[in-house]
Chain A
Amino acid sequence: MPLKQAHRTAAPEPLSRLPEHSAESPLSVHDVTVAYHRKPVLWDIDFDAPAGKLTAIVGPNGAGKSTLIKAAMGLIPLAAGRIEIFGKPIRAQRRLVGYVPQRGSVDWDFPVSALDVVCMGRYRAIGWCRPVTKRHRDAAMACLERVGMAGFAHRQISRLSGGQQQRVFLARALAQEAMLYFMDEPFAGVDAATERAIVEVLRTLRDEGRTVICVHHDLHTIEDYFDHVLLLNMRIVAQGPVAATFTRENLQKTYGGRLTLLDEASEALARTAAPGAS
């Protein structure tokens, strides 16, 4: 069956009406396949993020964790399937979504201060062609304060430590005032103080009723930090509350043994032109 046929039908029904999706979910991923150069890296993902919870996406390198959250934000095209944010396509919902990219994804020598970076979280609220006003700078400053970085507001970002840079990214996400957050390894390579600060912020966000989805590497802290877990290795191995889902058996399925047949099929698809794909 051609990969692209699924979403060709006119005016699709909202995912929330489908029996397998919940109407309250801030993020509904329906039968999504994502491919790079025709090689699928995610297969048939079905996923509802529980509202007002902290969800971890866990899996080995190359499992498609970052790909999944980028696809959810509409940053990379879907080969098949649909994604809805609060019941609508991402295009209509960008103001509800916040993002913390991987720290290594930007050039830290860029001539901006920590405050400038946090202000970027307000750009959507400010609108095209309008300057950043004092009101927005004050809001950004308050976000820096929440992550304990107010004292570094005017420092050029390359002069911050790795943990401080990560906290600036977190403050920028806070400045977005989103209802659904995607974070790509916010705990990677940070110091203990930063880790505590991030956890505290995540819990506050949850207590305010916001939903956070983190790509997370450190299996030891999953049970402490998160409510919900999605075990991913090109397809979903298991998902659900941490207590029931984060089991030795499921971890074994996620990390142990490659999915040889699926791998082989991916490679084959990469080599040939998939029928129907342009």
Chain B
Amino acid sequence: MSLFLQVDLPAALTGTLAALCCALLGNFLLLRRQSLLGDAISHTVLPGIVVGFLVFGTRSAGPMLLGAIAAALVAATLIELVKRYGKLEPGAAMGVVFSVMFALGVLLIERAAARTVDLDAECVLYGQLEDVLWLGPTAPGDLLKPSMWSGFPREAATLLVITVVVAAGIALFFKELRITAFDPELASSVGIPAGAVHFATTALVAVAAVASFEAVGSILVVAMLVCPAATARMFTDRLTTQVWLSGVFAVVAGIGGYVLGALAPVWLGMDGSLSAAGMITVLSGALLALAILLAPGHGVVAKRLRSLSLSAGIAREDLLAMLFRLEENRSGVTLTRGEIRGALGGGLPSRIALRHASRRGDLSIGAAGATLTDAGRAEARRLVRTHRLWETYLVRELGLRPDHVHSTAEALEHVTTEAMAQELGERAGAAADPHGKPIPD
């Protein structure tokens, strides 16, 4: 228990809070199509941290955090300036600013190292989540003792405060964040300054990113600014829901990633544990990949299924209309399954169409093959009627040539509403289509 309270709890909590505050802000970067800003900021804080150190001469958190935030804001301003005056597209502007500032940071570290001071660029990039310890509580009862809380890890405390500030800010200014991201001109015209809201968001991203770096490193920050919000977007078309879901995904990735990092090696029979920050990042990426594939509305699989069911529905209607046309020449038409599948062009849609038609009672399928039922014949008559009405309309009212209209009518008959069919019927006023075929009632 004391291991859990002293090592696992603070580390998992820190990782999760970092993920959460970045994920919540990430929603608004995603909406502005500025997710790269997180990447830019994560690199630009390096010179800030070094300058903070060089100016104040201490490795304590305050000055370095201050330097990092200042650097992030300088970077955000520079990006705007480069965009405006350098005539660069936003991605290029960010790329230029953050790579140059990062390089500057490396040079500064070299200078600092020359003065025999220990500063490590790696801990900015990869973080040191495993070093977040709470040396104090040894049993759950200790959590109630106020004295224990003085040893609560600073990283976790900082992130807790920032997460609360971020969540409160989003709750309080939700309306303003939404309108300035969607339509900055309208926002400004009604007195909600889009530029100021944008700047405040950027500043918060900088603060959240900097506070997270120390514990989890910049790679996780960049991933968390993008992945949870993008994952949430796959599941919903509502911004409120998206923000809530992004929080849920961040917490799942945070806790799940930490647990996996600790347990996966054990399961795989390896020694030690995996980097928790790395595992959280990988898990959030995996969640996004799963969402892109499997999300019910926007997922790839769902889209494929929808288009399959659409083409199967069209194939079913084509099948009914085909049987009806055959029956016009001789009654009691029966087609075998093979003939039907061949006529419908084969493939999965034709199989589904056949099964669907028999289940709906459009067809009676016996040993010899499929025949239209009365219900099926009624629907088929409606479809053929619509088709021939469209042909009549296209030839008479649009002046198309009679031999050009079949395929157009074929496409239109599947999307014709009852009201449209009625209007077509009134306009046509004829008993036969342009090819002389009777228009059924």
Chain A contacts for B199, CB-based, 8 A: none
**Contact yes or no, B185 A94, CB < 8 A:** no
With contact pairs A70-B185, A94-B189 given, residues A156 and B237 touching in the complex (Cβ less than 8 Å): yes
A174 at the interface (CB under 8 A from B): no
**Contact yes or no, B182 A128, CB < 8 A:** no
Residue from B172, B183, B233, B239 having most chain A Cβ neighbours under 10 A? B183
**Contact yes or no, A123 B192, CB < 8 A:** yes
B236 at the interface (CB under 8 A from A): yes
B186 at the interface (CB under 8 A from A): yes
Chain B contacts for A131, CB-based, 8 A: 174-175
Q: How far is the CA of A73 from the CA of B233 in the complex (A)?
A: 34
**Contact yes or no, A75 B189, CB < 8 A:** yes
Q: Which of A27-35, A106-114, A220-228, A260-268 interfaces with chain B?
A: A106-114
Closest approach, in angstroms, between the C-beta of A185 and any C-beta of chain B? 14
B421 at the interface (CB under 8 A from A): no
**Contact yes or no, B191 A94, CB < 8 A:** yes
Chain A contacts for B188, CB-based, 8 A: 73-75
Question: Chain A 2-29, CB within 8 Å of chain B: the 1/0 string?
Answer: 0000000000000000000000000000
Point out the residue from B33, B173, B181 that lies within 8 Å of A129, measured CB to CB.
Answer: B173
Point out the residue from A112, A117, A123 that lies within 8 Å of B190, measured CB to CB.
Answer: A123
A164 at the interface (CB under 8 A from B): no
A-B contact pairs, 20 of them (CB 8 A): A73-B188, A75-B188, A94-B191, A99-B189, A99-B190, A107-B33, A110-B182, A111-B236, A111-B237, A112-B239, A113-B238, A116-B178, A123-B179, A124-B192, A128-B173, A128-B192, A131-B174, A131-B175, A172-B186, A176-B190
A-B interface contact total, Cβ < 8 Å: 76
A120 at the interface (CB under 8 A from B): yes
Residues of A participating in the B interface, judged by any CB pair closer than 8 Å: 70, 73-75, 94, 97, 99, 101, 105-107, 110-113, 116-117, 120, 123-124, 126, 128-132, 156, 172, 176
Chain A contacts for B190, CB-based, 8 A: 94, 99, 123-124, 176
Chain B contacts for A128, CB-based, 8 A: 173, 176, 192
Point out the residue from A111, A113, A124, A126 that lies within 8 Å of B233, measured CB to CB.
Answer: A111
Question: Chain B 184-201, CB within 8 Å of chain A: the 1/0 string?
Answer: 011011111000000000
Q: How far is the CA of A111 from the CA of B185 in the complex (A)?
A: 18
Q: How far is the CA of A120 from the CA of B179 in the complex (A)?
A: 7
Chain A contacts for B181, CB-based, 8 A: 110
Question: Chain B 339-383, CB within 8 Å of chain A: the 1/0 string?
Answer: 000000000000000000000000000000000000000000000
Chain A contacts for B185, CB-based, 8 A: 70, 75, 99, 101, 105
With contact pairs A75-B189, A132-B175, A176-B190 given, residues A106 and B237 touching in the complex (Cβ less than 8 Å): no
Residue in chain B with minimal CB distance to A102: B185
**Contact yes or no, B178 A112, CB < 8 A:** yes
Point out the residue from B189, B237, B239 that lies within 8 Å of A97, measured CB to CB.
Answer: B189
**Contact yes or no, A110 B31, CB < 8 A:** yes
**Contact yes or no, B237 A123, CB < 8 A:** no
Q: How far is the CA of A113 from the CA of B178 in the complex (A)?
A: 12
Residue in chain B with minimal CB distance to A129: B172
For chain B, which range describes its interface: under 10, 10 to 19, 20 to 34, or 35 or more residues? 20 to 34
B242 at the interface (CB under 8 A from A): yes
Residues of B participating in the A interface, judged by any CB pair closer than 8 Å: 31, 33, 172-176, 178-179, 181-183, 185-186, 188-192, 233, 236-239, 242
**Contact yes or no, A120 B189, CB < 8 A:** no
Q: How far is the CA of A92 from the CA of B179 in the complex (A)?
A: 21
Chain A contacts for B176, CB-based, 8 A: 123, 128-129
Residue from A74, A106, A113 having most chain B Cβ neighbours under 10 A? A106
Chain B contacts for A129, CB-based, 8 A: 172-173, 175-176
Point out the residue from A70, A111, A116, A176 that lies within 8 Å of B242, measured CB to CB.
Answer: A111
Closest approach, in angstroms, between the C-beta of A137 and any C-beta of chain B? 13
Q: How far is the CA of A257 from the CA of B191 in the complex (A)?
A: 40
Chain B contacts for A101, CB-based, 8 A: 183, 185-186
Q: How far is the CA of A72 from the CA of B185 in the complex (A)?
A: 13
Q: How far is the CA of A43 from the CA of B172 in the complex (A)?
A: 43
**Contact yes or no, B175 A99, CB < 8 A:** no
Residue in chain A with minimal CB distance to B84: A37
**Contact yes or no, B189 A112, CB < 8 A:** no
Residue from A111, A123, A176 having most chain B Cβ neighbours under 10 A? A111
5 more A-B contacts (CB under 8 A) besides A120-B179, A123-B190, A176-B190?
A: A70-B185, A94-B189, A111-B238, A124-B192, A129-B176
Q: How far is the CA of A195 from the CA of B238 in the complex (A)?
A: 29
Q: How far is the CA of A187 from the CA of B14 in the complex (A)?
A: 54
**Contact yes or no, A105 B183, CB < 8 A:** yes
Chain B contacts for A107, CB-based, 8 A: 31, 33, 182
With contact pairs A120-B179, A123-B179, A126-B175 given, residues A111 and B239 touching in the complex (Cβ less than 8 Å): yes
Q: How far is the CA of A120 from the CA of B180 in the complex (A)?
A: 10
Q: How far is the CA of A129 from the CA of B197 in the complex (A)?
A: 13
Q: How far is the CA of A156 from the CA of B238 in the complex (A)?
A: 8
Chain B contacts for A110, CB-based, 8 A: 31, 181-182, 239
Chain B contacts for A113, CB-based, 8 A: 237-238
Q: How far is the CA of A94 from the CA of B193 in the complex (A)?
A: 12
Residue from B174, B176, B182, B186 having most chain A Cβ neighbours under 10 A? B186
Closest approach, in angstroms, between the C-beta of B306 and any C-beta of chain A? 13
Q: How far is the CA of A132 from the CA of B239 in the complex (A)?
A: 14
Q: How far is the CA of A110 from the CA of B182 in the complex (A)?
A: 7
Chain A contacts for B179, CB-based, 8 A: 120, 123
Closest approach, in angstroms, between the C-beta of A55 and any C-beta of chain B? 18
Closest approach, in angstroms, between the C-beta of B186 and any C-beta of chain A? 6
Chain B contacts for A126, CB-based, 8 A: 175
Q: Please give me the 7 A-B residue pairs with the lowest Cβ-Cβ distance, nearest first.
A: A156-B237, A124-B190, A94-B191, A73-B189, A99-B189, A111-B239, A129-B172
**Contact yes or no, B238 A112, CB < 8 A:** yes
Q: How far is the CA of A52 from the CA of B376 in the complex (A)?
A: 60
Residue from B31, B179, B190, B242 having most chain A Cβ neighbours under 10 A? B190
Chain A contacts for B31, CB-based, 8 A: 107, 110-111
